[in-house]
Amino acid sequence: MDLKIEQDEPRFNRPAQSTLYQPAVALSFFKTFGTPEDVAAGKPIFVENEGGANIYSQGSKMYLLVDGEVAISVGKQVIGAVGKGEVFGEIASISHLPRTATATAKSACKLISMDEPRFMTAMEKSPEFALMLMNIIIGRLRETIANLTSAGRLSDKDRWNRATIFERKLLADLEKAMEDTPPADHPAGKVMMKEGDKGLFMYVVREGVIAVTIDGKTVEKVGPGGVFGEMALVNQGARAATATAETDCSLLAINRADFMKLVKSKSAFALSLLKALSERLRYMTSKYK
């Protein structure tokens, strides 16, 4: 069934892109591992809630838009747009969960699709693409947070998100790789980062619980193996949230230089971060409903 796109709908801002995102590299990545597809104007590329039951299903594909324009909507509300050279649909592919939004071709589109198995193989051969994908997701997160905050859709009554955690083996590998920078203890009540500040570190929680707030509303609680502060580290933007130690905590701090080394040398680290960012975006997008 065709999805109707209103001709007079406003033009939405693209997700922020830093110098980490290189369209030519993304195109080469998708051309090497993906499959070309054509979609007629007005046709859905994927729809909200599809996929998730099987990681090899249609719902697990991600896309690069080669030509045309795509509208992204939740329910009946258009929340964004995709332009040439941009990647979309990556959340379901990374998280293995149903789609949180609908993508519809606003004009005739040429796409390159990539399913989950090919993506996992490609990531090991092209770690630099992981950084670009993180940047795309973070750009969408920042845009979503700004929209939700301005519309007053964040509430203290909302159930907060439970952060994705690293597996124990990966956490042990990180500590070994960071043995020159041992974990540090922090008391309950300590503010680890503030909205608007420059991001110098991301943190991995070894022990304790961190409460993450946006505009004074709790949106996430991060326990052992969880991470926070990675958004500002990736795209070097201002902190999008405040993080406070809810209990006494032991944290591993990772600066940008070490972060870049880990992404390029440990594909499991990059994939775990992508999953954490994807699930965070899924959670924030759900608040549009």
Query: 158-288 has which CATH code?
Result: 2.60.120.10
Output the pTM of the full model.
Answer: 0.75
Task: Locate CATH 2.60.120.10 in the chain.
Answer: 23-125, 158-288
Cβ-count burial 40-49 (b if 16+ within 10 Å, e if not): eeeebbbbee
CB-count burial class (<10 Å; 0-12, 13-18, 19+) for 39: buried
Concatenated DSSP letters for 76-125?
TEEEEEE-TT-EE-HHHHHH-S--SSEEEESS-EEEEEE-HHHHHHHHHH
| Euclidean distance between CA atoms 20 and 88, whole angstroms | 17
* Topology adopted by domain 23-125: Jelly Rolls (2.60.120)
| Euclidean distance between CA atoms 125 and 251, whole angstroms | 31
The rounded mean pLDDT for the chain is 85
Structure confidence by residue, pLDDT tens digits, 131-190: 888 888 888 888 889 989 988 888 877 778 887 678 888 889 998 888 889 999 999 999
Q: Long-range CB contacts (< 8 A, 24+ apart) of 278-281?
A: 278/90, 278/91, 278/94, 278/95, 278/137, 279/95, 279/97, 279/161, 279/164, 280/141, 280/161, 280/163, 280/164, 280/220, 281/91, 281/100, 281/137, 281/140, 281/141, 281/144
Cβ(223)–Cβ(209) below 8 Å? yes
Q: Write the single-letter amino acid at 109.
A: C
Whether 253 has a pLDDT exceeding 50, the answer reads: yes
Q: Percent of the chain having pLDDT more than 90?
A: 41
Inter-axis angle of helices 256-265 and 127-150, to 10 degrees?
130
The radius of gyration computed from the CA coordinates of the chain, to the nearest angstrom, equals 19
Residue 12: pLDDT band by 50, 70, 90 thresholds?
A: very low
Structure confidence by residue, pLDDT tens digits, 64-109: 999 999 999 988 889 889 989 998 998 888 877 888 889 999 999 9
Structure confidence by residue, pLDDT tens digits, 259-272: 988 988 888 898 88
Residue 8: pLDDT band by 50, 70, 90 thresholds?
A: very low
